[in-house]
Amino acid sequence: MNGLGGGYSQILINGRPVFSPLIGLYGMEQIPANMVDRIEVVRGGGSALYGSSAIGGTVNVITHLPDDNDYSLGLTSNVINGQSMDNVLSGNVTMVSKKRNAGAVLFVNRRYREAYDHPGITLMANGSQKIEKDNYSELPELRNNSFGGNLFLRPSPNQKLELNFTSLYEYRYGGEMIGKEAHLAKQSEERVHNIFMAGIDYQINFNDDNSSFIAYAAGQTTDRRHYTGLYPERSGFDTDSAYLAAEIIHLKDTPYGHTDNSTLQGGMQINHRIQDFIIGTNVLTAGLEYLVDDIVDSIPHYKYGTNQKTSNAAFFLQSDWQLSRAFTFLPGVRADKHNLLDHAILSPRLSLLYRYKNYTQFRLTWGTGFRAPEAFDADMHIAFAGGGVSRITLDKDLKEERSNSLSGSINFDLPSEKYIFGFTLEGFYTRLTDAFHLQPIGADELGEQFVKRNGPGATVKGATLELRANYNKQAQVEAGFTLQSSLHTKGVENIEGLEAKREFLRTPNDYGYLVLMLFPTPRINASFNAVYTGSMLQAKFSPDESLISNEYRTTDSFTEISFKLGYTLPLRAIDTGLEFYGGVNNITNIFQSDFDNYRNRDSNYVYGPGQPRTIYIGIKLKSL
């Protein structure tokens, strides 16, 4: 968002930042779709209520809330490029009391995806290349079981108590497809996650609903068992005895690891509306919150370990001041004290909104933020690179990364009796100081080593145009396109020996999307979508520089096109609908074509659509 990668956005579950760095390794892939009611996206960091790391924006995953008696049960079968199956079974049930003062929604989900092997490039001894499969997976095997729910209780008209919980189990295996234990494969990664997330919110309104008090707590705990390793290869040893000794060591001291991670947040918030505040109405918000994240991760074989406990205490104050029907002024400030910093950091944020008539809004936003010097996202990941296992450590002098952002937008929505048309034009500019980057520091007997350091700073700027229209609730179209630039002030070294580059890696300068949804009758629905990603710079390790050198590569641009069609058969006698649906994802089969096809591959050299052409069909039973 706003030209910045996922590490610069705040991911929330029901408004709480319990989506820990460890869970963030796989984005939101572990969250089942039937758990999600909607996803709210706010670009930029204009509100002081969001965390300090909400620099690019905020993604808030809202799980289903009980609002009526309802149920659904569905099965979806996917065929990945005619080769591998991906089956998902999901169910939801919602219950609400007659007085509508209590309710619950429960969900279950089970998924099994087979590993998928895509043709890649095999290097021949004479330096030539051959395109073929190699029995190594490009998409890992997945086994996922999850369940959870949301509950609410209104003990009185002015009070509300909400509770949500989610339990996730996932097994993930990628590498040589041999059907044996991970450490017996020539090269593989295996992950077993057990995750539990929960949150509770209590709100009471008083003073004729002009004031409210909110108290909340949320947390997650993750137990992860993992393996990342290579089986000793005979060609790498001079004698049979040396190879046999290495094989015995590998089997005796296998590189399995274990991770314990927990996150806990608690806080309170007071809101008070002043009807006559100098000019207009003002809603004042003040709050305190405390967030702690504790992680212990170790792989004894690699002499690798992370034992880090971070905590952040914050105070925020915000004024939502409606000066008139046309103007709203939103000033705010956060004060954060992180345990890895010697000082508290103030993050002021301002936003000004002007409404022209009922269909046009002009917004100007300025905000500051920071990322603390701790292990974030992929920094906690062990990967393959350069013919070995790469490891990442934190520089002892690492300090926080600061941001200063400015954005402006025009939002236009013109409704009529049968249609609504609108657009949003936004420009953004973010200046990063002491930007984090991974510095290569050479290799040892195990593989490449990197250290996370502060860089010289960076500038991200660009513009986004979004268009949308809806005709009589029968057809809806949305489209957006972004042009942007992400450059370090000075070049940074990504692979030892290669020239320093100012460009952000894996960051396209242009990207966009198109979504068309059709509802010609109450029984029929159809959707078409396209996602465009421009070319981007990648750093590529080679396991054998005598055949091919480490190098930078610029990827081709690509467009992923998908289509879905559904038909609902009403079963009036039982007040139920039976929906049949099917479609094709990535119709043109645009997929990365230069995967490494050999042991010792660079596992971070991945880009493009998440999977090749996938045909799917499904059936869902749901209440009408």
pLDDT tens for each residue of 476-516? 999 999 999 999 999 888 888 889 999 998 899 999 999 99
Give the mean model confidence (pLDDT) for residues 366-392: 70
Average model confidence (pLDDT) for the chain? 89
Compute the average pLDDT of residues 75-79.
97
pLDDT of residue 317: 95
Distance separating alpha carbons of residues 420 and 176, to the nearest angstrom: 52
Which comes out higher in pLDDT, residue 217 or 229?
Answer: 217
Higher-scoring residue by pLDDT: 254, 383: 254
Residues 6+ apart with CB under 8 A from 392: 379, 381, 438, 449, 450, 451, 452
Query: In the prediction, which pLDDT does 45 show?
Result: 66
Model pLDDT, residue 550: 86
Q: Is the pLDDT of residue 383 over 80?
A: no
Is pLDDT of 49 > 80?
no
3-state secondary structure of 570: strand
| pLDDT reported for residue 445 | 74
Instruction: Locate the domains of the chain by residue range.
Output: 6-623
Give the residue from 140, 142, 33 showing the smallest Cα distance to 90. Answer: 33
H/E/C letters for each residue in 391-413? Answer: EEEECCCCCCEEEEEEEEEEEEE
Cα separations (Å) of 408 from 370, 463, 483?
21, 10, 15
Count CA atoms closer than 13 A to 562's CA, side-chain side.
23
CB within 8 Å of 24: residues ≥ 6 apart: 6, 11, 376, 377
Residues 534, 559 contacting (CB under 8 angstroms): no
CA torsion 29-183-447-340 (nearest 10°) is 50
Does residue 379 have a pLDDT over 60?
Answer: no
Question: What is the C-alpha to C-alpha distance for residues 223 and 206, in angstroms, rounded to an integer?
Answer: 42
β-strand 102-113 against 141-153: which pairing, if any?
A: antiparallel
Q: How confident is the model at residue 590 (pLDDT cuts 50, 70, 90)?
A: very high
Paired sense of beta strands 388-394 and 447-454, if any: parallel
**pTM flag (> 0.85):** yes
pLDDT of residue 46: 62
495 touches 539 (CB < 8 A): yes
pLDDT at 587: 97
Q: What is the mean pLDDT of residues 104-123?
A: 91
Choose between 357 and 77: higher pLDDT.
Answer: 77
- Maximum Cα interatomic distance, the chain, rounded to a whole number of Å: 87
At 595, the amino acid letter reads F
Fold category of 6-623 in CATH: Maltoporin; Chain A (2.40.170)
What kind and span of H or E run contains 245? helix 240-252
Burial of residue 90 (CB within 10 Å: 0-12, 13-18, 19+) is buried
Write the burial class of residue 311 (CB in 10 Å: 0-12 exposed, 13-18 middle, 19+ buried): middle
Q: Mind listing the pLDDT tens digit for each residue in 31-40?
A: 778 888 888 8
